[in-house]
Amino acid sequence: MFLHIGNNINVPIKNIVAILNEDALDILKVNSKRIYMENVKNEGSVKNDNVKNKRSYIIVCPNDYNRGKKDDKECIIYLSNISSTTLLKRCEEKTDWR
Domain boundaries, the chain: 2-93
What is the pTM (predicted TM-score) of this model?
0.75
**Rounded CA gap, 8 and 27, in Å?**
30
Q: Residue 40: its pLDDT value, please? A: 73
- Classify 45 as helix, strand or coil: coil
Q: Residue 61: its pLDDT value, please? A: 84
Backbone angles phi, psi at 26, to 5 degrees: -70, -10
Q: Residue 2: its pLDDT value, please? A: 92
